[in-house]
Amino acid sequence: MRTRQARLASAYVTTVRLNASDSGSVETDALVVGINTSPDGLRPASGAEAVNSALTGGLAATLGALGFSGHAGEIAKIPTFGAVPAPLVVAVGLGDAPEEAGAYDLEVLRRAAGVATRSLAGTARAALSLPATTAEQAEAVALGALLGAYDFTKYRTVGEVKAPVAEIVVLSGASGAEATVSRAATLAESVALVRDLVNTPPSDLAPARFAEIAEENGTKAGLSVEVLDEVALKEGGYGGIVGVGQGSVNPPRLVRLGYTHPEAGTTLAFVGKGITFDSGGLSLKPSASMAWMKSDMGGAGAVFGALLAIAKLGLRVNAVGYLCLAENMPSGTAQRPSDVLTTYAGKTVEVLDTDAEGRLVLADGIARAGEDDPDLIVDVATLTGGQIVALGWRTCGVMSSDDDLRDEVVEVAVAQGEAAWGMPLPEELRKGLDSPIADIANLNPERSGSMLAAGLFLREFVPEGVRWAHVDIAGPAFNKEAPHGYTPKGGTGMLTRTLIALAERYQAGREA
């Protein structure tokens, strides 16, 4: 198949291609194979047969002597001493063998491939002979490998910097694998771009710069692009975005990205929170909570990456994306607690806490999205610390006034390997948002159920009759701990793949 390139951080580009050769004959710098656990001990997974036969004593005995357990994500490197063309075999644990032969969970394959390629930084070529007997499995291996190879090195000037694996070869003869591996390259390219944006220091990614990147890349991908600057936002009545951004020397922007297909029967609108840095405004955050707030634009990043991939894949759907961009800073011009602003929808909001700013920019974006007459609106935001308290750092919360839609978004996200959990919108929490002087307050002062109360706030701005879901990715958008699976430290690109998969689900000619 034609080699596909996936754009990674800095100057690095990793290519991926398909090869139907078996693991014992492919020429490569490193060969990755899978190992399962079983009641009888270690067992080579599908794709490892040729290597297992070539090595004296077999893989299980060799790995057992090294203390390898086969647990998911475990890595062991074995020199082959010429037994196969590859000088190095990388065994990666896949956990328990599936009950049905070959029925591997796709996320297990993605994570295994990601762990392997991350361990091979500095290697020119890696071939992956993990289980890939179906096109879907081949895609999972390719996608996990590409995402695992990601590294953000743009600002490193001291010490050794190993380039990501330059070429990834997926060993599979599965029918249809060329198309799925190509899809994997497109998805990985979008996710890598989102990760790059999240990882970029806020000094280099002010709202205007983000808008420039969106305009440049969106135009290249064939998207229509509209950018509203601070003057247009004020004249247009976008009080939420203007209010949040007025304290910064870097003025706000609203970017609309549009994709249309002549066969589309459904229009989807995605709205992303794009706070390029969140100090909390005058309601200043503690320094420890502020240190990673360059990631507060992760929702807008996911929307941007998804629109690019939707266009490149040529999906039979109409899609619009809104990037609500502002920098939330304290200054003499910043909005104050107790200020009242008027949103694009015409509703007034009493600002009780300037650190509850994401919902203000989203309110404008959601209301504006209604003008596109969408069948569905999904907003994505690093919105509340309450999400992290409730669900931890890896699982996003999904809320909706439509239970079926909430469950659908969760289902799609989980299938992509993006952990999600459905959450309620309890009506009793709505009273906590009442304001004595405006239509609504921007938060419940009691803080109880803060993730859910934020969802109830956003619901107030959804156009009547439009299905809507809200996804809070506050924790999952940025990995503060060690890398795991195909997830690096820093920006993760969370929910980009879910939005793309939702668009695929609603393509014309497919059952929604």
Q: How far is CA 337 from CA 202, 244, 276, 357, in A?
A: 24, 12, 21, 11
| 39/302 Cα distance (integer angstroms) | 42
* Residue stretches of the annotated binding site: 273, 278, 296, 355, 357
* Residue stretches of the annotated binding site for Mn(2+): 273, 278, 296, 355, 357
Tokens coding 412: 């799609």
| 3-state SS class at 449 | coil
Query: Which distant-in-sequence residues (6+ apart) come within 8 Å of 52 by Cβ?
Result: 44, 58, 59, 60
DSSP assignment string, 239-287: HHHHHHHTTSSS--EEEEEEE--TT---EEEEEEEEEEEE--TTSPPPH
Q: What are phi and psi of 76, to 5 degrees?
A: -140, 140
CB 183 within 8 A of CB 142: no
- Of 7, 154, 234, 285, the catalytic one is 285
3-state class percentages of the chain: helix first, strand second, coil last, to nearest 5: 35, 25, 40
Q: Which of 264, 401, 383, 240 is nearest to 320 (CA)?
A: 264
Q: Identity (one letter) of the amino acid at 242?
A: V
CA-based Rg of the chain, rounded to a whole angstrom? 24
Q: What are phi and psi of 373, to 5 degrees?
A: 50, 50
Q: Which of 280, 384, 382, 296 is nearest to 334 (CA)?
A: 280
| 497/486 Cα distance (integer angstroms) | 14
User: E-strand spans in 10-112?
Assistant: 13-19, 30-38, 41-44, 75-79, 88-96
CB 320 within 8 A of CB 257: yes
- Has 359 been annotated as catalytic? yes
| 105/224 Cα distance (integer angstroms) | 38
- Has 111 been annotated as catalytic? no
Tokens coding 509: 């000619």
Cβ atoms within 10 Å, residue 356: 25
Q: What are phi and psi of 378, to 5 degrees?
A: -125, 120
| 30/188 Cα distance (integer angstroms) | 21
Distance of CA 312 to the CA centre of its chain: 17
Residues forming a β-bridge with 13: 7
Please report where in the chains the tokens 């993730």 appear, as a residue.
451
- Of 359, 368, 497, 505, the catalytic one is 359
| Helix runs in 66-220, H state only | 106-119, 135-148, 177-199, 207-220
Tokens coding 265: 């029967």
Tokens coding 511: 């059952």
Provide the annotated active-site residues: 285, 359
